[in-house]
Structure 1
Amino acid sequence: VVTPRRFEANIREAKSGQIWRDNESRKMLAFVLNISGNSPIILMGDFNAMRGSPEIERFVQAGFKDVFGELNTTEGFTWDDVLNTNIHTYQVPSNLSPERYRRHRIDFIFANRHWKVLGSEVVLNQPVDGLMPSDHFGVSGKIQLMKAGED
Protein backbone atom coordinates (compact mmCIF):
# COMPACT_ATOMS: atom_id res chain seq x y z
CA VAL A 1 0.00 0.00 0.00
CA VAL A 2 1.39 3.34 -1.02
CA THR A 3 0.57 5.99 1.53
CA PRO A 4 0.58 9.70 0.66
CA ARG A 5 3.73 10.09 2.79
CA ARG A 6 5.54 7.27 0.94
CA PHE A 7 4.40 8.64 -2.42
CA GLU A 8 5.83 12.07 -1.55
CA ALA A 9 9.10 10.47 -0.41
CA ASN A 10 9.38 8.59 -3.72
CA ILE A 11 8.78 11.79 -5.68
CA ARG A 12 11.43 13.67 -3.66
CA GLU A 13 13.93 10.83 -4.15
CA ALA A 14 13.30 10.66 -7.91
CA LYS A 15 13.60 14.44 -8.23
CA SER A 16 16.84 14.56 -6.24
CA GLY A 17 18.30 11.81 -8.46
CA GLN A 18 17.37 13.75 -11.59
CA ILE A 19 18.88 16.95 -10.16
CA TRP A 20 22.10 15.09 -9.28
CA ARG A 21 22.35 13.53 -12.77
CA ASP A 22 21.65 16.89 -14.37
CA ASN A 23 24.46 18.54 -12.38
CA GLU A 24 26.85 15.67 -13.13
CA SER A 25 26.11 15.83 -16.86
CA ARG A 26 26.81 19.59 -16.85
CA LYS A 27 30.15 19.05 -15.12
CA MET A 28 31.09 16.10 -17.34
CA LEU A 29 30.34 17.98 -20.54
CA ALA A 30 32.25 21.08 -19.40
CA PHE A 31 35.24 18.96 -18.38
CA VAL A 32 35.35 16.94 -21.60
CA LEU A 33 34.98 19.98 -23.83
CA ASN A 34 37.61 21.85 -21.84
CA ILE A 35 40.30 19.17 -22.14
CA SER A 36 39.52 17.80 -25.60
CA GLY A 37 39.91 20.85 -27.80
CA ASN A 38 39.04 19.75 -31.33
CA SER A 39 39.84 16.07 -30.71
CA PRO A 40 37.64 13.06 -31.46
CA ILE A 41 35.55 12.25 -28.39
CA ILE A 42 33.56 9.19 -27.33
CA LEU A 43 31.50 9.20 -24.12
CA MET A 44 29.79 6.03 -23.03
CA GLY A 45 28.25 4.36 -20.05
CA ASP A 46 25.28 4.00 -17.76
CA PHE A 47 23.72 7.46 -17.60
CA ASN A 48 20.58 6.31 -15.72
CA ALA A 49 18.57 8.77 -17.81
CA MET A 50 16.50 8.48 -20.98
CA ARG A 51 16.46 10.34 -24.29
CA GLY A 52 14.45 13.48 -23.82
CA SER A 53 15.77 14.09 -20.31
CA PRO A 54 17.81 17.29 -19.81
CA GLU A 55 20.91 15.35 -18.79
CA ILE A 56 20.95 13.34 -22.04
CA GLU A 57 19.74 16.07 -24.39
CA ARG A 58 22.58 18.29 -23.14
CA PHE A 59 25.09 16.02 -24.94
CA VAL A 60 23.01 15.95 -28.13
CA GLN A 61 22.67 19.75 -28.12
CA ALA A 62 26.46 19.99 -27.70
CA GLY A 63 26.87 18.12 -30.99
CA PHE A 64 27.28 14.54 -29.79
CA LYS A 65 25.62 11.77 -31.78
CA ASP A 66 23.63 9.14 -29.92
CA VAL A 67 25.36 6.20 -31.61
CA PHE A 68 22.47 3.75 -31.12
CA GLY A 69 19.78 6.30 -32.00
CA GLU A 70 21.62 7.47 -35.11
CA LEU A 71 20.68 4.42 -37.22
CA ASN A 72 18.15 2.41 -35.19
CA THR A 73 14.41 2.87 -35.12
CA THR A 74 13.83 0.45 -32.22
CA GLU A 75 13.84 1.54 -28.59
CA GLY A 76 16.99 -0.42 -27.74
CA PHE A 77 16.09 -1.08 -24.12
CA THR A 78 19.13 -1.51 -21.87
CA TRP A 79 17.13 -1.57 -18.63
CA ASP A 80 14.36 -4.13 -18.85
CA ASP A 81 12.87 -5.52 -15.68
CA VAL A 82 10.59 -7.71 -17.77
CA LEU A 83 13.39 -9.73 -19.40
CA ASN A 84 16.39 -9.18 -17.14
CA THR A 85 16.15 -11.55 -14.20
CA ASN A 86 19.06 -9.84 -12.42
CA ILE A 87 16.79 -6.90 -11.74
CA HIS A 88 14.38 -9.23 -9.94
CA THR A 89 17.21 -10.13 -7.55
CA TYR A 90 17.60 -6.51 -6.45
CA GLN A 91 13.95 -5.46 -6.39
CA VAL A 92 11.40 -6.09 -3.70
CA PRO A 93 8.90 -8.57 -5.23
CA SER A 94 5.98 -6.18 -4.68
CA ASN A 95 7.81 -3.64 -6.87
CA LEU A 96 7.63 -6.04 -9.82
CA SER A 97 3.90 -5.82 -10.39
CA PRO A 98 3.02 -5.61 -14.12
CA GLU A 99 2.14 -1.92 -13.93
CA ARG A 100 5.66 -1.21 -12.61
CA TYR A 101 7.57 -2.94 -15.41
CA ARG A 102 9.99 -0.49 -16.89
CA ARG A 103 11.83 -0.75 -20.15
CA HIS A 104 14.18 2.09 -20.99
CA ARG A 105 17.39 2.85 -22.81
CA ILE A 106 19.60 4.43 -20.16
CA ASP A 107 23.02 3.31 -21.43
CA PHE A 108 24.54 5.37 -24.22
CA ILE A 109 27.47 5.81 -26.54
CA PHE A 110 27.96 9.42 -27.63
CA ALA A 111 30.43 10.39 -30.35
CA ASN A 112 31.28 13.87 -31.56
CA ARG A 113 31.38 15.07 -35.16
CA HIS A 114 34.72 13.39 -35.90
CA TRP A 115 33.06 9.97 -35.94
CA LYS A 116 30.83 8.32 -38.52
CA VAL A 117 28.31 5.87 -37.08
CA LEU A 118 28.32 2.57 -38.98
CA GLY A 119 26.07 0.54 -36.70
CA SER A 120 24.95 -0.16 -33.17
CA GLU A 121 23.00 -2.81 -31.31
CA VAL A 122 21.92 -3.90 -27.86
CA VAL A 123 24.15 -6.75 -26.64
CA LEU A 124 24.42 -9.03 -23.63
CA ASN A 125 20.64 -9.25 -23.51
CA GLN A 126 20.45 -13.04 -23.35
CA PRO A 127 21.33 -15.35 -20.46
CA VAL A 128 24.69 -17.11 -20.51
CA ASP A 129 24.54 -20.47 -18.74
CA GLY A 130 21.22 -19.37 -17.26
CA LEU A 131 22.51 -16.06 -15.92
CA MET A 132 22.23 -12.54 -17.22
CA PRO A 133 25.65 -10.86 -17.51
CA SER A 134 24.50 -7.67 -15.73
CA ASP A 135 21.43 -5.82 -14.52
CA HIS A 136 21.78 -3.72 -17.70
CA PHE A 137 21.98 -4.85 -21.29
CA GLY A 138 24.96 -3.48 -23.18
CA VAL A 139 25.21 -1.19 -26.17
CA SER A 140 27.74 -1.92 -28.88
CA GLY A 141 28.64 0.59 -31.54
CA LYS A 142 30.66 0.47 -34.71
CA ILE A 143 32.09 3.88 -35.52
CA GLN A 144 34.78 5.12 -37.87
CA LEU A 145 37.09 8.07 -37.38
CA MET A 146 36.54 10.41 -40.31
CA LYS A 147 39.38 11.97 -42.26
CA ALA A 148 40.06 15.66 -41.82
CA GLY A 149 37.53 17.65 -43.82
CA GLU A 150 34.90 14.86 -43.87
CA ASP A 151 33.21 16.09 -40.74
Structure 2
Amino acid sequence: MTLQLRVATFNIRNSSAPDGDDSWPVRRESTAAAIEALDAGVVGLQEVLPDQLEYLQQRFPGWEIVGEGRDDGGHEGEHSVVMVRPGDWQVESHETRWLSAEPSTPGSVGWDAHLTRIATLVRLRHADGTEIGVANTHYDHAGEKARVESSRLLAAWTATELPWIVMGDLNATPGSPPLKTLTEAGLRDVVPASEGGSEHSFTGATDRDRIDHILVNDAWQPVEAAVSHYRPAGRLPSDHWPVVATLRLV
Protein backbone atom coordinates (compact mmCIF):
# COMPACT_ATOMS: atom_id res chain seq x y z
CA MET A 1 0.00 0.00 0.00
CA THR A 2 1.27 3.46 -0.90
CA LEU A 3 2.06 5.55 2.17
CA GLN A 4 0.60 9.01 2.62
CA LEU A 5 1.61 11.56 5.23
CA ARG A 6 0.00 14.87 6.09
CA VAL A 7 2.51 17.45 7.32
CA ALA A 8 2.34 21.07 8.39
CA THR A 9 4.60 23.98 9.31
CA PHE A 10 3.53 26.74 11.67
CA ASN A 11 5.37 29.70 13.18
CA ILE A 12 3.45 30.08 16.45
CA ARG A 13 5.05 33.43 17.47
CA ASN A 14 7.22 33.46 20.57
CA SER A 15 5.67 34.08 23.96
CA SER A 16 8.05 36.92 24.84
CA ALA A 17 6.71 39.25 22.13
CA PRO A 18 4.71 42.24 23.41
CA ASP A 19 1.59 41.45 21.40
CA GLY A 20 -1.11 42.82 23.72
CA ASP A 21 -4.46 41.23 22.92
CA ASP A 22 -2.64 38.71 20.69
CA SER A 23 -0.09 37.69 23.32
CA TRP A 24 0.58 34.02 23.97
CA PRO A 25 -1.46 33.61 27.20
CA VAL A 26 -4.51 35.02 25.41
CA ARG A 27 -4.26 32.95 22.23
CA ARG A 28 -2.51 29.73 23.26
CA GLU A 29 -5.72 27.69 23.29
CA SER A 30 -6.50 28.93 19.77
CA THR A 31 -2.95 28.08 18.68
CA ALA A 32 -3.35 24.53 19.95
CA ALA A 33 -6.79 24.25 18.33
CA ALA A 34 -5.33 25.44 15.02
CA ILE A 35 -2.64 22.73 15.24
CA GLU A 36 -5.28 20.09 15.92
CA ALA A 37 -7.40 21.29 13.01
CA LEU A 38 -4.52 20.75 10.57
CA ASP A 39 -5.07 17.00 11.10
CA ALA A 40 -1.39 16.40 10.35
CA GLY A 41 0.73 13.44 11.40
CA VAL A 42 3.89 15.56 11.53
CA VAL A 43 3.99 19.25 12.44
CA GLY A 44 7.01 21.56 12.43
CA LEU A 45 6.73 24.56 14.74
CA GLN A 46 8.99 27.60 14.95
CA GLU A 47 9.62 30.25 17.66
CA VAL A 48 8.74 27.84 20.46
CA LEU A 49 10.08 29.13 23.78
CA PRO A 50 10.41 26.84 26.82
CA ASP A 51 7.09 27.88 28.39
CA GLN A 52 5.33 27.26 25.07
CA LEU A 53 6.99 23.89 24.74
CA GLU A 54 5.80 22.93 28.21
CA TYR A 55 2.25 23.94 27.33
CA LEU A 56 2.32 21.97 24.07
CA GLN A 57 3.67 18.88 25.81
CA GLN A 58 0.73 19.05 28.23
CA ARG A 59 -1.79 19.90 25.52
CA PHE A 60 -0.68 17.09 23.17
CA PRO A 61 -0.09 14.08 25.42
CA GLY A 62 1.22 11.04 23.59
CA TRP A 63 2.77 13.06 20.78
CA GLU A 64 6.54 12.88 20.35
CA ILE A 65 7.87 16.45 20.41
CA VAL A 66 11.59 16.76 19.62
CA GLY A 67 14.09 19.57 19.12
CA GLU A 68 16.56 21.51 21.25
CA GLY A 69 16.81 25.17 22.21
CA ARG A 70 18.91 27.32 19.91
CA ASP A 71 20.77 29.14 22.69
CA ASP A 72 22.42 26.15 24.36
CA GLY A 73 21.43 23.00 22.49
CA GLY A 74 19.28 22.12 25.48
CA HIS A 75 16.30 23.93 26.93
CA GLU A 76 17.15 27.60 26.41
CA GLY A 77 15.92 29.84 23.63
CA GLU A 78 13.60 29.26 20.72
CA HIS A 79 13.02 25.70 19.51
CA SER A 80 12.11 24.51 16.03
CA VAL A 81 10.31 21.42 17.21
CA VAL A 82 8.89 18.52 15.26
CA MET A 83 5.67 17.03 16.60
CA VAL A 84 4.74 13.46 15.63
CA ARG A 85 1.19 12.24 16.23
CA PRO A 86 0.80 8.88 17.98
CA GLY A 87 0.36 6.15 15.40
CA ASP A 88 2.36 4.36 12.74
CA TRP A 89 5.27 6.84 12.60
CA GLN A 90 7.90 6.86 15.33
CA VAL A 91 10.97 9.03 15.87
CA GLU A 92 14.03 6.94 15.08
CA SER A 93 16.52 9.75 15.78
CA HIS A 94 16.73 13.53 15.89
CA GLU A 95 19.34 16.27 16.17
CA THR A 96 19.51 20.05 16.19
CA ARG A 97 22.01 21.80 13.94
CA TRP A 98 22.92 25.48 13.79
CA LEU A 99 22.61 27.49 10.60
CA SER A 100 26.17 28.73 10.68
CA ALA A 101 29.66 27.79 9.56
CA GLU A 102 29.82 25.74 12.78
CA PRO A 103 26.60 23.69 12.67
CA SER A 104 27.46 21.63 15.74
CA THR A 105 28.22 24.66 17.95
CA PRO A 106 25.24 25.68 20.12
CA GLY A 107 24.45 29.37 19.94
CA SER A 108 26.58 30.02 16.86
CA VAL A 109 25.42 32.77 14.49
CA GLY A 110 25.87 32.40 10.76
CA TRP A 111 27.25 34.94 8.29
CA ASP A 112 25.23 38.19 8.35
CA ALA A 113 22.41 36.78 10.48
CA HIS A 114 21.13 38.89 13.36
CA LEU A 115 20.14 35.92 15.50
CA THR A 116 21.06 32.33 16.22
CA ARG A 117 19.13 30.05 13.85
CA ILE A 118 18.64 26.28 13.86
CA ALA A 119 17.23 23.29 12.03
CA THR A 120 15.83 20.15 13.62
CA LEU A 121 16.51 17.02 11.58
CA VAL A 122 14.41 13.97 12.35
CA ARG A 123 14.44 10.44 11.04
CA LEU A 124 11.03 8.74 11.22
CA ARG A 125 10.24 5.07 10.86
CA HIS A 126 6.85 3.72 9.82
CA ALA A 127 5.41 0.55 11.29
CA ASP A 128 6.16 -1.20 7.98
CA GLY A 129 9.86 -0.26 8.20
CA THR A 130 9.84 2.69 5.80
CA GLU A 131 12.16 5.52 6.86
CA ILE A 132 11.89 9.19 5.96
CA GLY A 133 13.64 12.43 6.91
CA VAL A 134 12.01 15.63 8.14
CA ALA A 135 13.85 18.94 8.53
CA ASN A 136 12.16 21.85 10.31
CA THR A 137 13.89 25.21 10.32
CA HIS A 138 13.63 28.97 10.79
CA TYR A 139 15.92 31.17 8.70
CA ASP A 140 17.16 34.58 9.77
CA HIS A 141 14.88 37.53 9.10
CA ALA A 142 17.65 40.01 8.20
CA GLY A 143 20.72 38.24 6.81
CA GLU A 144 20.44 37.83 3.04
CA LYS A 145 23.66 35.83 2.82
CA ALA A 146 22.68 33.80 5.87
CA ARG A 147 19.43 32.69 4.22
CA VAL A 148 21.21 31.49 1.09
CA GLU A 149 23.94 29.75 3.09
CA SER A 150 21.26 28.16 5.28
CA SER A 151 19.66 26.74 2.15
CA ARG A 152 23.01 25.35 1.07
CA LEU A 153 23.33 23.62 4.43
CA LEU A 154 19.81 22.16 4.23
CA ALA A 155 20.43 21.00 0.66
CA ALA A 156 23.61 19.21 1.75
CA TRP A 157 22.05 17.68 4.86
CA THR A 158 19.12 16.27 2.89
CA ALA A 159 21.16 14.99 -0.06
CA THR A 160 20.64 11.35 0.91
CA GLU A 161 18.52 8.53 -0.45
CA LEU A 162 15.87 9.08 2.21
CA PRO A 163 12.54 10.62 1.22
CA TRP A 164 12.97 14.12 2.66
CA ILE A 165 10.52 16.80 3.71
CA VAL A 166 11.99 20.27 4.40
CA MET A 167 9.70 22.80 6.02
CA GLY A 168 9.69 25.95 8.05
CA ASP A 169 9.71 29.71 8.13
CA LEU A 170 12.39 30.56 5.58
CA ASN A 171 11.83 34.34 5.72
CA ALA A 172 11.98 34.21 1.93
CA THR A 173 9.39 34.19 -0.83
CA PRO A 174 8.97 31.70 -3.70
CA GLY A 175 11.58 32.28 -6.39
CA SER A 176 13.94 34.21 -4.11
CA PRO A 177 17.63 33.18 -3.87
CA PRO A 178 17.16 31.00 -0.75
CA LEU A 179 14.30 29.11 -2.42
CA LYS A 180 16.17 28.84 -5.72
CA THR A 181 19.11 27.33 -3.86
CA LEU A 182 16.83 24.59 -2.52
CA THR A 183 15.00 23.93 -5.79
CA GLU A 184 18.24 23.83 -7.76
CA ALA A 185 19.37 21.13 -5.33
CA GLY A 186 16.38 18.97 -6.28
CA LEU A 187 13.74 20.03 -3.76
CA ARG A 188 10.40 21.46 -4.85
CA ASP A 189 7.90 23.66 -3.07
CA VAL A 190 4.56 21.84 -2.97
CA VAL A 191 2.30 24.79 -2.12
CA PRO A 192 0.76 26.55 -5.15
CA ALA A 193 1.30 30.29 -5.49
CA SER A 194 -2.48 30.66 -5.67
CA GLU A 195 -2.66 29.83 -1.94
CA GLY A 196 -1.41 33.33 -1.15
CA GLY A 197 0.61 34.56 1.78
CA SER A 198 1.47 33.06 5.13
CA GLU A 199 2.66 35.98 7.28
CA HIS A 200 0.17 38.60 8.32
CA SER A 201 1.46 40.33 11.50
CA PHE A 202 -1.83 39.69 13.32
CA THR A 203 -3.84 41.46 10.61
CA GLY A 204 -5.49 38.32 9.26
CA ALA A 205 -4.42 39.27 5.73
CA THR A 206 -4.13 36.42 3.23
CA ASP A 207 -2.38 38.27 0.39
CA ARG A 208 0.95 39.14 1.95
CA ASP A 209 4.26 37.31 1.50
CA ARG A 210 4.43 33.53 1.70
CA ILE A 211 7.58 32.86 3.69
CA ASP A 212 6.52 29.51 5.20
CA HIS A 213 7.20 26.54 2.96
CA ILE A 214 7.02 22.78 2.57
CA LEU A 215 9.51 21.28 0.11
CA VAL A 216 10.12 17.66 -0.85
CA ASN A 217 12.49 15.60 -2.93
CA ASP A 218 11.46 13.30 -5.79
CA ALA A 219 10.41 10.50 -3.43
CA TRP A 220 7.20 12.41 -2.68
CA GLN A 221 4.17 13.28 -4.76
CA PRO A 222 2.01 16.11 -3.40
CA VAL A 223 -1.67 15.21 -3.17
CA GLU A 224 -2.86 18.57 -1.88
CA ALA A 225 -1.34 21.62 -0.21
CA ALA A 226 -2.78 24.78 1.26
CA VAL A 227 -2.38 27.74 3.58
CA SER A 228 -4.85 27.38 6.47
CA HIS A 229 -6.82 30.45 7.49
CA TYR A 230 -8.65 28.84 10.37
CA ARG A 231 -9.38 31.10 13.33
CA PRO A 232 -10.46 29.00 16.32
CA ALA A 233 -13.27 30.79 18.12
CA GLY A 234 -12.60 33.73 15.80
CA ARG A 235 -9.13 34.36 17.21
CA LEU A 236 -5.93 34.58 15.17
CA PRO A 237 -3.70 31.74 16.42
CA SER A 238 -0.43 33.45 15.42
CA ASP A 239 1.03 36.18 13.23
CA HIS A 240 1.55 33.50 10.56
CA TRP A 241 -0.91 31.15 8.89
CA PRO A 242 0.06 27.48 9.02
CA VAL A 243 0.91 25.68 5.78
CA VAL A 244 -0.21 22.08 5.33
CA ALA A 245 0.29 19.36 2.69
CA THR A 246 -0.69 15.76 2.09
CA LEU A 247 2.17 13.81 0.50
CA ARG A 248 2.34 10.38 -1.09
CA LEU A 249 5.47 8.26 -1.32
CA VAL A 250 6.15 7.22 -4.92
TM-score normalised over the length of structure 1: 0.64
Where do residues 81-92 of structure 1 align in structure 2 (5 Å cutoff)?
81=201, 83-84=203-204
Residue 67 of structure 1: how far off its partner (Å): 0.9
Name the SS of the counterpart of 1:142 in structure 2.
strand
Is residue 27 of structure 1 aligned with residue 153 of structure 2? yes
Q: 1:43 aligns with which of 166, 169, 187?
A: 166
CA offsets 1:54-101 (integer angstroms, 9 cap, x no match): 1111111112121113xxx5142101248438xxxxxxxxxxxxxxxx
**Structure 2 contact 202–240 (Cα < 8 Å) conserved:** no
Name the SS of the counterpart of 1:120 in structure 2.
strand
Equivalent residue for 1:80?
A: 200
Q: In the alignment, residue 61 of structure 1 is paired with which amino acid?
A: E
Higher relative contact order (CA 8 A, sep 6+): 1
Equivalent residue for 1:56?
A: 179
Q: CA RMSD in A?
A: 2.5
CA offsets 1:95-129 (integer angstroms, 9 cap, x no match): xxxxxxx8111000001001111111111x23222
Q: In the alignment, residue 147 of structure 2 is paired with which amino acid?
A: R
**Percent identity of equivalent pairs:** 32
Q: Write the distance in 2 (CA, Å) between the matches of 1:57 and 1:18.
A: 13
- CA 83–54 in structure 1, closer or farther in 2 if over 3 Å, else same: same
Is residue 133 of structure 1 aligned with residue 244 of structure 2? no
- CA 52–78 in structure 1, closer or farther in 2 if over 3 Å, else same: same
Q: Write the distance in 2 (CA, Å) between the matches of 1:41 and 1:32.
A: 7
Q: Write the distance in 1 (CA, Å) between the matches of 2:213 and 2:149.
A: 18
Equivalent residue for 2:85?
A: none
TM-score normalised over the length of structure 2: 0.40
**Structure 2 contact 195–227 (Cα < 8 Å) conserved:** no
Q: Write the distance in 1 (CA, Å) between the matches of 2:214 and 2:182.
A: 11
Q: Write the distance in 2 (CA, Å) between the matches of 1:15 and 1:138.
A: 18
- CA 107–16 in structure 1, closer or farther in 2 if over 3 Å, else same: closer
Number of residue pairs matched?
Answer: 111
Where do residues 103-114 of structure 1 align in structure 2 (5 Å cutoff)?
103-114=208-219
Q: In the alignment, residue 145 of structure 1 is paired with which amino acid?
A: L
- CA 119–16 in structure 1, closer or farther in 2 if over 3 Å, else same: closer
Q: In the alignment, residue 39 of structure 1 is paired with which amino acid?
A: L
- CA 26–132 in structure 1, closer or farther in 2 if over 3 Å, else same: same
> Which has a greater percent of helix?
1
Name stretches of at least 5 consecutive residues in structure 1 with no aligned partner: 1-12, 86-101, 147-151
Name stretches of at least 5 consecutive residues in structure 2 with no aligned partner: 1-113, 115-139
Q: Radius of gyration: which is bigger?
A: 1
